[in-house]
Amino acid sequence: MFTENRTVQVHHDYRLDTDNTLALASTAQRLVCLDQVSQIPALQQIAQTEPSRWVLGGGSNMVLAPYIAGLVIKVQNRGIRLVSETATEVIVEAQAGENWHRFVSFCLEQGWLGLENLALIPGTVGAAPVQNIGAYGVELEQRVHSIQCWDLERAQWQHYTAQQCEFAYRDSLFKRAGAGRYLITAVQFILSKASGWQPVLRYPDLLQSPKLQHTINARAIFEAVIEVRQAKLPDPKQLANAGSFFKNPVISQANYERIRAQYPAVIAYPYEAQFKLAAGWLIERAGWKGKQLGPVGMHVRQALVLVNYGGATAREVAQLVERVQADVYDLFQVELEQEPITVT
């Protein structure tokens, strides 16, 4: 059911069950789809009358409530273009609705390098900067050139450089600004040509990959990352999940030394004069790897991944999260922070 508003259709009581990778049953009171930026004026007219707004990309990093009042904006504009190039670098623009992994693969095929460590991360290009996605030694902020977005509060275009995005670990200006203010429409990336490319191979999983024992190039890293992720992480199409559910906690050196004295095998990495603990290791040590609470649980192969075995609700997800957080804190006096955004 829908009514039309110029070039934008307003869908009422729209089911989002298949639009979130946790497969939570959810209904949006109203939903509009952004297929092209020319729809922005019509979309703004609708959005400015709504008491609340949420922006939805691939739904891979969200915990959806059973009913979402207000307006959900589903971003699905597509397109990739080469903006400029030098002898060693390129600037590439991708529209926000592009599938992230397909974009990474496309860049690799064109010889635009630097995103290979971020292969197989679910979601869309537009959602990637909100969380400042990262994996295997690379964070998105290292590759972003600039971001174009529509400010729904001020009804105007905004153009942000990477520095202006205020990126932090799994955080950004867009995440802190509040739900539904910024509608990212396109992201520009600064990537390398082969002559200027350097591999990022700091993580043991990559260093030990058979695919990288003889040949080290961007294609080999891309394939190794895919292999490692597939071995550790369940495919959301086969077992509903939102990927890594908790941030790796960053603690002081003193706290790290305290934990290491009691648990010498603790997995941690130096991070800006502090230490980043492997949340999956903490969760596994707290006894939650493979453990289930009703229809939800922590995955049997990767304790960091919360999975929905079928029919779970946002409330049941929250109950499991609280239990895991409490057990990890009791054991290590370390607080785990949820990574996915809770949409209420």
Residues designated as active site = 170, 244, 339
Residue 338 and residue 245 in contact, taking contact as beta carbons nearer than 8 Å: yes
CA distance 258 to 34: 50
Residue 98 and residue 80 in contact, taking contact as beta carbons nearer than 8 Å: yes
Per DSSP, what are the bridge partners of residue 56? Answer: 74
Structure tokens at 4: 């039309």
Q: 1-10 — which CB contacts under 8 Å span 24+ positions?
A: 5/42, 5/45, 5/46, 6/41, 6/42, 6/45, 7/38, 7/39, 7/42, 8/32, 8/33, 8/39, 8/42, 8/43, 8/46, 9/33, 10/46
CA distance 276 to 57: 28
Q: Where are the beta strands (DSSP E) in 8-102?
A: 8-15, 27-34, 53-56, 62-64, 67-75, 80-85, 89-95
Residue 343 and residue 63 in contact, taking contact as beta carbons nearer than 8 Å: yes
Residue type, 242: A
Please give the backbone phi and psi of residue 67, each rounded to the nearest 5 degrees, phi first. -135, 125
Residues contacting residue 11 through CB under 8 Å, at least 6 positions apart: 1, 2, 28, 30, 31, 32, 33
Q: Strand 292-293 and strand 296-298: pairing? A: antiparallel
Residue 8 and residue 32 in contact, taking contact as beta carbons nearer than 8 Å: yes
CA distance 70 to 54: 8
